[in-house]
Structure 1
Amino acid sequence: MTDSTSSPLDNAPDDIKLAVDLIYLLESNEIDPETALSAIKIVKNDLEAKLKAKQGK
């Protein structure tokens, strides 16, 4: 018997779960796609800088 409260996302990798959460957050707040993409680029640059700094230690 299958648990009716389970979701295909329950076994998904963490990055997929996070992506789904972010998409939901953007859509539920009716964020303009161009604004969202611009913000994502800023976040990407910030995270890449943090990774680069971490690797340099």
Structure 2
Amino acid sequence: MNESGLEQAPDDIKLAVDLIYLLESNHVTPETVLKALEIVKADFERKVDSQKS
């Protein structure tokens, strides 16, 4: 995806690209990334659930 295509992309795609760049630039291992993403996902799922109530 070129830069102008990324500008037109949905926010979730833009965020994913930024996160991938950040993690790869800092040489974070894939195993560490996956463990961290599980924690982040659980946290945000709790936030979504608490907003529903």
Q: 2:14 aligns with which of 11, 17, 25?
A: 17
Percent of residue pairs identical: 61
Question: TM-score, normalised on structure 1?
Answer: 0.86
Any unmatched runs of 5+ in structure 1?
1-5
3-state secondary structure, aligned to 1:20: helix
Measure, in 1, the Cα distance between the counterparts of 2:14 and 2:21: 11
Task: Give the AA of the match of 2:22.
Answer: L
Task: Give the AA of the match of 2:7.
Answer: D
Question: TM-score, normalised on structure 2?
Answer: 0.92
Which contiguous aligned blocks of 4+ residues in structure 1 show a shift greater than 3 angstroms?
none
For the pair shown, the structure with the greater C-alpha radius of gyration is 1
Q: Please state if 1:28 is matched with 2:28.
A: no
Q: How many residues align?
A: 51
